[in-house]
């Protein structure tokens, strides 16, 4: 393995196994060496720009404008909070551009291998020593449920594809079952439901035709009917009570589930903050600290009366958070970036190489999950978007 591939492997591995922290995640320290190795191969940026590159650059500009305009905010420390996170936003965009403009230089086999081992070891760590080591060590963090489930949602398709290519279809099916089980037992509803979707698509999307679509529809209908069998209900309940409630007690759960109601409240807050400054937003990193009178014009709001500091909680919604903190100058490039990815995937599906499709399936799971969690501010999401951007550029240059 050459030096470039070693740096690439280490960067992806320690991104998908993000528990070693020395001020920053360990992957951060491999990034300059990865940049250096790519620089030796060719010019880094701004050659053969496409729509994805343009939206990424616009997003960076939107982030800068949001922070600068927060200087005019009457709320104390708005600019300070924004400038503290701005380097991260610029780093993530540089990552997307770096992978896009150097797509031909990236060895995707190395990327898949690193992601496979990163997710695998993260799973072992999560279910064994995460809590104990995270509480006892200065350099290891505990892998929280939300972080772990997000790693699965983003990178499980890559793990399944790696197993499929290396050990065959039957073992890939087993790997999918284990991934879904890991997501379910973690207690995350998204981790269970979205991994089922993306792992299934990774395994079978390339084999779909009219006959198989009909067969899948019949199986889904049969599965739907069997969901009411006592043995099935008991199994779902034992695996994950929250998923059970969502499936079998949907209306009651949505009306009574505090997590869901908090999310509705934060959507109201986010839209209200957006109306205060629709172009540039309230400033990056200001959502939690900005006070807002949440009126709660939705069923079940009265159940949140006991929640302390409701208006200072996380937005639990990446789209609403971007809209509120960055306004249209940040939100439009962000949505444009995602839409560019999906439009390409839909229109070019048949011609996209099989090894690239797991990137897009992970992106699909991530984009859905974005509505239920503010997960934009971590490198997992941006590494996945960088891989999708590189796939698009790779296909245009091969």
Structure confidence by residue, pLDDT tens digits, 156-183: 999 999 999 999 999 999 999 999 999 8
For the beta carbon of residue 50, count every other beta carbon within 10 angstroms. 14
Mean pLDDT in residue range 225-254: 63
Question: Where is pLDDT greater, at 333 or 73?
Answer: 333
* pLDDT confidence of residue 253: 55
| CA angle (23, 25, 26) in 5-degree steps | 105
Q: What are 175's two structure tokens?
A: 């790997």
Averaged confidence pLDDT in the chain: 86
Instruction: Give the separation between CA 176 and CA 171, rounded to whole angstroms.
Output: 9
> 210 falls in which pLDDT band (50, 70, 90)?
low
pTM: 0.88
Distance of CA 50 to the CA centre of its chain: 23
Could you read off the pLDDT of 366-398 as tens digits, one per residue? 999 998 888 888 899 999 999 999 999 999 876
Distances in whole angstroms, Cα of residue 244 to Cα of each of 183, 236, 248, 263, 363 = 14, 6, 6, 20, 26
Closest residue by Cα to residue 199 from 365, 1, 33, 15 = 365
Instruction: Give the separation between CA 56 and CA 54, rounded to whole angstroms.
Output: 5
Question: Where is pLDDT greater, at 40 or 218?
Answer: 40
Instruction: Give the separation between CA 162 and CA 172, rounded to whole angstroms.
Output: 8
Decide: helix, strand or coil at residue 24.
strand
**Has residue 357 got a pLDDT over 80?**
yes
* pLDDT confidence of residue 191: 73
Q: Percent of the chain at pLDDT above 70?
A: 82
**Has residue 277 got a pLDDT over 80?**
yes
Mean pLDDT in residue range 340-348: 94
Distances in whole angstroms, Cα of residue 227 to Cα of each of 183, 222, 232 = 19, 9, 6
* pLDDT confidence of residue 316: 82
Residues 323/270, Cβ–Cβ less than 8 Å: yes
* pLDDT confidence of residue 156: 95
Largest CA distance in the chain: 62
* pLDDT confidence of residue 296: 73
**Has residue 186 got a pLDDT over 60?**
yes
Q: Percent of the chain at pLDDT above 90?
A: 55
> 303 falls in which pLDDT band (50, 70, 90)?
low
**Has residue 248 got a pLDDT over 70?**
no
Distance of CA 288 to the CA centre of its chain: 20
| CA angle (269, 273, 277) in 5-degree steps | 165
Strand partners, 24: 22
Residues 175/163, Cβ–Cβ less than 8 Å: yes
């Amino acid at each position: 393995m050459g030096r470039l591939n070693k740096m690439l492997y280490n960067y992806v591995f320690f991104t998908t196994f993000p528990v070693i922290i020395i001020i920053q995640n360990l992957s951060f320290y491999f990034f300059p060496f990865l940049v250096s190795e790519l620089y030796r191969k060719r010019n880094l940026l701004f050659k053969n720009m496409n729509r994805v590159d343009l939206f990424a650059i616009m997003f960076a500009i939107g982030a800068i404008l949001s922070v600068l305009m927060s200087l005019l905010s009457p709320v104390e420390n708005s600019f300070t909070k924004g400038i503290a996170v701005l380097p991260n936003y610029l780093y993530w965009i540089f990552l997307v551009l770096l992978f896009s403009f150097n797509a031909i230089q990236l060895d995707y086999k190395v990327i898949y291998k690193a992601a496979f081992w990163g997710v695998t070891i993260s799973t072992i760590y999560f279910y064994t020593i995460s809590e104990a080591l995270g509480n006892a060590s200065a350099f290891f963090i505990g892998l929280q449920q939300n972080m772990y489930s997000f790693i699965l949602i983003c990178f499980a398709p890559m793990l399944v594809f790696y197993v499929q290519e290396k050990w065959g279809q039957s073992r890939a099916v087993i790997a999918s079952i284990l991934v879904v089980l890991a997501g379910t037992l973690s207690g995350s509803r998204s981790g269970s439901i979205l991994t089922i979707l993306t792992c299934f698509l990774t395994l079978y999307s390339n084999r779909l035709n009219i006959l198989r679509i009909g067969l899948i529809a019949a199986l889904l209908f049969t599965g739907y009917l069997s969901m009411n069998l006592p043995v099935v209900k008991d199994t779902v309940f034992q695996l994950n009570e929250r998923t059970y409630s969502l499936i079998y007690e949907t209306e009651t759960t949505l009306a009574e589930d505090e997590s869901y109601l908090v999310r509705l409240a934060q959507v109201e807050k986010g839209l209200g903050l957006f109306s205060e400054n629709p172009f540039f937003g309230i400033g990056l990193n200001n959502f939690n600290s900005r006070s807002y009178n949440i009126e709660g014009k939705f069923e079940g709001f009265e159940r949140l009366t006991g929640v302390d500091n409701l208006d200072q909680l996380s937005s639990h919604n990446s789209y609403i958070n971007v809209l509120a903190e960055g306004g249209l100058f940040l939100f439009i490039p962000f949505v444009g970036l995602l839409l560019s990815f999906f439009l390409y995937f839909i229109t070019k599906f048949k011609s996209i190489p099989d090894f690239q499709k797991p990137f897009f399936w992970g992106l699909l799971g991530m984009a859905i999950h974005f509505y239920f969690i503010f997960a934009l501010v971590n490198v997992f999401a941006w590494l996945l978007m960088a891989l999708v951007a590189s796939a698009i550029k790779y296909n245009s240059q091969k």
